[in-house]
Amino acid sequence: MLYDNLAVNEKGHLAIGGVSTVALAEQYGTALYVLDEDKIRANCRLYTKSMQEWFGEGSMPLFAGKALCFKGMYRILQEEAMGADVVSPGELYTALAAGFPPERLFFHGNNKTDEDIRYGVDSRIGFFIVDNEHELEVLSAYAGEQGVCQKVLLRVTPGIDPHTLEAINTGRIDCQFGRPIETGQAARFVEKALSLPNLSVCGFHSHIGSQIFEAQPFCDAVDILLQFAKDMRESHGFVAKIFNLGGGFGVRYVESDPVVDIPANIRALSEHLTRGCAELGYPIPHIYMEPGRSIVANAGLTLYTAGGVKEIEGYRSYVTVDGGMTDNPRYALYQANYTVLPANRMNEVADGTYTVAGRCCESGDLIQEDVRLPEPKRGDLIAVLTTGAYNFAMSSNYNRICRPAVVMVRGGEHFLAVRRQTFEDLVACDL
């Protein structure tokens, strides 16, 4: 099994967190997102404990809400004493609606509108992660009007290519986020931030990409950030107290993906940082990270009911499911890998090869190609693993398909966390 929260029960059914997926499908229907709350909490604790141990008090993980955003998630994060980053006013609203403490929120975004900026300041969020000079000016002015000194981190791009998928690779110079160090724009960005009133510049943010399986790319980013921070100290007397290193480590979608030892990698990164600071004579900053995927991906799976098989002789066989790119657009977007299992027939021999197709009116609506399964029959339960991140969060109502429910599994029990959309929900905004 890809993860230790998955098992096959005595009936040959796939179970997650000790709960049968067949029982969940019967009770809640399909398509269905299932999340293992115990796994989410364990992942939160792994980051919190390792970061405190190796980076010291004052360093912490901030959950990247873009990976999975609904009220129940923020309640878990609050109980686990995590911070959280939000990338839109909608995510900010969700966090606040769940009662998440605003001072532990970090507001991202490369084009925050004036309204977004006012909403963040009025909500008294902890930090703005400022992307550009326009945002600095509006933020400084509005913070002044409100009599607030707003804490900010400045997003810079270190120019690192961590060799992940193009679409989730953001630390390179040529991207729309932050200001590049190499071209001198980041230095001018710092100068501008320091010149404006009502802002407390606390440090830097960089996100180099996602699905990173080792400490080395983060170490490379730290080297560049440290040299930049030293230059800023020399030129402006500014000392960065926080480095936010962006998204977390990679997860296993398929057996061939490596297992990441998160504590060991955090330790290696911390040792690298300590050495780097000593060499440059720079005070060790607090480290924040923004893991999304590695907190929730392996806590989730999606259940579908098979519709039927279409065999095209000499070509291939498709199995259709009652969901698709509306609940998981990642294969359609960038051919993301997934493990697909016959959830109600786990002990049978997987002797056929099938392409799993969704129900949308779109030929690109595939969940995965060339999957090994026992020949699916109409009504079979198909499970797609590792869907806790960037599935519910990326879901849509294309073709006016209702979004699936989200069910949580905790201590062998289960409960609804997000109800299934209804047809009424689909027309709720139509005038």
Ligand X SMILES: Cc1ncc(COP(=O)(O)O)c(C=O)c1O
| Residues making contact with ligand X (CB under 6 A) | 64, 67, 108, 168, 170, 207, 210, 246-248, 290-294, 389
Please give the full DSSP string across 264-309, using - where no structure is assigned. HHHHHHHHHHHHHHHHHT-PPPEEEEE-SHHHHGGGEEEEEEEEEE
Closer to ligand X by Cβ: residue 171 or 376: 171
Closer to ligand X by Cβ: residue 159 or 247: 247
Which residue sits closest to ligand X, CB atoms considered? 247
Tell me the closest approach of the beta carbon of residue 296 to ligand X, in angstroms. Answer: 8
In terms of C-beta distances under 8 Å and separation of at least 24 residues, what long-range contacts does 255-264 make, across chains too?
255/2, 255/339, 257/213, 257/337, 258/213, 260/213, 260/214, 260/294, 262/46, 262/47, 262/50, 262/294, 263/46, 263/49, 263/50, 263/53, 263/54
Residues 45/51, Cβ–Cβ less than 8 Å = no
Closer to ligand X by Cβ: residue 265 or 294: 294
- Using the 8-state DSSP alphabet, how is residue 421 labeled? P
Closer to ligand X by Cβ: residue 165 or 427: 165
Can 361 be counted among the known catalytic residues? Answer: yes
Closer to ligand X by Cβ: residue 28 or 106: 106
Q: Under the phi-then-psi rule, with left for phi > 0, alpha for psi from -120 to 50, and beta for the rest, what region is 379?
A: left
Tell me the closest approach of the beta carbon of residue 222 to ligand X, in angstroms. Answer: 16
Tell me the closest approach of the beta carbon of residue 347 to ligand X, in angstroms. Answer: 34
- Alpha-carbon distance of 285 to 1, in angstroms, equals 39
Which of 270, 243, 137 minimizes the C-alpha distance to 198? 137
Strands 199-205 and 32-36: unpaired
How many other β-carbons are positioned within 10 Å of the β-carbon of residue 174? 7
Closer to ligand X by Cβ: residue 67 or 341: 67
Tell me the closest approach of the beta carbon of residue 42 to ligand X, in angstroms. Answer: 16
Phi/psi at 351 (5° precision): -110, 10
Closer to ligand X by Cβ: residue 28 or 249: 249
Q: How far is CA 315 from CA 318, 352, 355, in A?
A: 10, 13, 11
- Alpha-carbon distance of 192 to 388, in angstroms, equals 40
Closer to ligand X by Cβ: residue 293 or 403: 293
Q: How far is CA 211 from CA 259, 291, 339, 401, in A?
A: 12, 10, 16, 30
Q: Under the phi-then-psi rule, with left for phi > 0, alpha for psi from -120 to 50, and beta for the rest, what region is 281?
A: left
Q: Under the phi-then-psi rule, with left for phi > 0, alpha for psi from -120 to 50, and beta for the rest, what region is 166?
A: alpha
Scan for tokens 């071209």, then name that residue: 183
Scan for tokens 């490369």, then name that residue: 110
The single residue of 202, 361, 402, 429 carrying the catalytic annotation is 361
- Using the 8-state DSSP alphabet, how is residue 402 labeled? P
- Alpha-carbon distance of 66 to 293, in angstroms, equals 9
Q: In terms of C-beta density within 10 A (0-12 exposed, 13-18 middle, 19 or more buried), how is residue 363 classed?
A: exposed
Catalytic residue positions, numbered: 361
